[in-house]
Amino acid sequence: MSSRPDLFQRIAVQREQRVAEGRVRVRRLVARRDGMRVELDGRWLTEFAGNDYLGLSQQFEAVNALQDSAARDGTGAGASHLVSGHHAQHHALEQELAEWLEYPAALLFGSGYMANLAVQQALLGEDDVCVQDRLNHASLIDASRLAGCRLRRYPHLDPEGAMRQLKQSPDGVAMLATDGVFSMDGDVAPLRSLSLVARMQQALLYVDDAHGVGVRGPHGRGSVADARMGVNEVPLQLVTLGKALGGYGAAVVGEAALIRHLAETSRPYIYTTALPPAQAAATRVAIRQARRDQWRRDKLNASIARFRQRAQRAGLQLMASDTPIQPVLCGSDASAVALSDALQSAGLLVPAIRPPTVPEGKARLRVTLSALHSEAEVDALVDTLARSWEAIQKRERLQRLEQEVA
């Protein structure tokens, strides 16, 4: 009788490999947070690592709404939406999201990951196809696996590639799915061209705009509105509540019949507890702030421009991004980790992003900017980046020379 593989031995070997490749992921323990400053291991660092793009996560009106609602409604919803957990705060939040983004309806989810799983699981089956940008978020890829549909991927930002993939899959329902703003590169999908492709191929265009809503478009309505499109061109889009809006959770906004179908059939919606009503109350305040406070986007965009101008002048290798996500390419995993460590020693928190999150040879620092960053903090980041990168490159050149001599 054959013996089964030893699971613990397998995971031990896999961990050894991650250690050897320098790809072990470590959680950082944040003791306290104050604006763009975080306390780690007893040290206060200036953070360029999160997604609080508008600085709303600690905004006092949103915090007050959270506290007031928790005191009145409790700490949790107590049940799923379809049992007894759908609270008046949830209903009001869905209405405000739909009105803000100019969509007929909205549906709340516990996270963007769950929302993406829900959309494809509820709409696609094994005879259908989902065509996706190669650099889409992992949740969109995993969603196709859950749905059991055929997954086809096209080269990054390539509408013609999307067209080819759709033409090669003429049978069944077709969905064309893309990030609005790509989370690791910070660039923006060519939504108008993709909309044309979707219309020509009778595919439903679905946009995950987790990093665009709040930041881009008129009144922060996101990448779809920035492209001068709406529900007719993009029948469904994902809105995260945990990035520019500073809270937690997500929603899908879309055509009313599609949203109703998701509510009635999507497993990640039916079989999970609803968001805490207090969180919904805080997000409602954050939406009003995001809509009203254009100064937050203006300040954020000024910081993005300042960072790019100074970084390019310093010779740092940036990517084509005009969003708060500003990758600094390092090449090797070791160089990215060394640069991140040097910045942390200087009081700056910037994460190193390595494969498999990004392609091989494309390790980077993922700098993220917020409306709360000051000009002095942006300047300090660029100056420290430039000095540290120069020192790392000098050290690597010396090591190569020593190896050649040896």
Annotated binding-site residue numbers for pyridoxal 5'-phosphate = 112-113, 183, 211, 240
Tell me which residue has tokens 């055509």: 255
**Distance of alpha carbon 393 from alpha carbon 120, whole angstroms:** 45
Residue (of 45, 35, 369) closest to 211 by Cα position: 369
Asked whether 277 and 248 are in contact (CB, 8 A), the reply is no
**Distance of alpha carbon 383 from alpha carbon 315, whole angstroms:** 11
Handedness of CA 169, 267, 283, 40 (dihedral sign): negative
Count CB-CB contacts under 10 A for residue 96.
Answer: 17
Buried b (16+ CB within 10 A) or exposed e, 144-174: bebbebbbbbbebbbbebbbebbeebeeeeb
CA torsion, points 343, 344, 346, 350, in degrees to nearest 10? 50
Q: Which residues are annotated as a binding site?
A: 25, 112-113, 137, 183, 211, 240, 357
Asked whether 196 and 204 are in contact (CB, 8 A), the reply is no
Asked whether 253 and 97 are in contact (CB, 8 A), the reply is yes
CA torsion, points 189, 191, 194, 198, in degrees to nearest 10? 130
Q: Which residues are annotated as a binding site for substrate?
A: 25, 137, 357
What is the distance, to the nearest Å, from the Cα of residue 66 to the centroid of all Cα atoms in its chain? 23
Tell me which residue has tokens 């969905």: 175
